[in-house]
């Protein structure tokens, strides 16, 4: 019984996945880009840039906090 449940679950997942990957067909989209997998290169590049900006912001935040603390100790 338990095995049957798992098979059903797997089948449902597959059905969902196949409908998810289906394109509309008429309008040309970048489907081939996904097949070649190269879109992930762009995604990674953008993610790296954003993470870089985040790290920069965090460092700026820390620097400002340090000065704030120093000024507080002086008072």
Partner 1 sequence: MKQNWWKILGAVLVLYSIISGFIFPVPAQAILHETIRNLYFHVPMWFSMMTILGVSAVYSIKYLSNSKFDNDIVAAQAANVGMLLGILGLTTGSMWARYTWGAWWVADVKLNGVAVSMLIYLAYFILRGSIDEEQKRARISAVYNIFAFVLYIVFIMVLPRLNDSLHPGNGGNPGFNKYDLDSTMRTVFYPAVLGWILIAVWVMTLRIRTERLKRKTLFNE
Size of the site for partner 1 (CB under 8 A): 27
Residues 6 or more apart in contact with residue 23 via CB below 8 angstroms: 29, 31
Please state, in angstroms and rounded to a whole number, the distance separating the CA atoms of residues 18 and 11: 11
| Interaction mask 3-22, partner 1, x per CB under 8 A | -----------------xx-
Using CB under 8 A as the binding rule, whether residue 24 contacts partner 1 is answered as yes
Q: How far is the CB of 16 from partner 1 (least distance, A)?
A: 12
61 forms part of the interface with partner 1 (CB under 8 A): yes
């Amino acid at each position: 019984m338990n095995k049957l449940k798992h098979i059903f679950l797997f089948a449902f997942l597959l059905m969902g996945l196949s409908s998810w990957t289906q394109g509309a067909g008429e309008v040309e989209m970048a489907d081939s880009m996904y097949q070649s997998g190269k879109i992930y290169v762009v995604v990674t590049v953008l993610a790296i840039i954003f993470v870089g900006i985040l790290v920069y912001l965090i460092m700026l935040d820390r620097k400002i906090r340090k000065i704030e603390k120093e000024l507080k100790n002086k008072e």
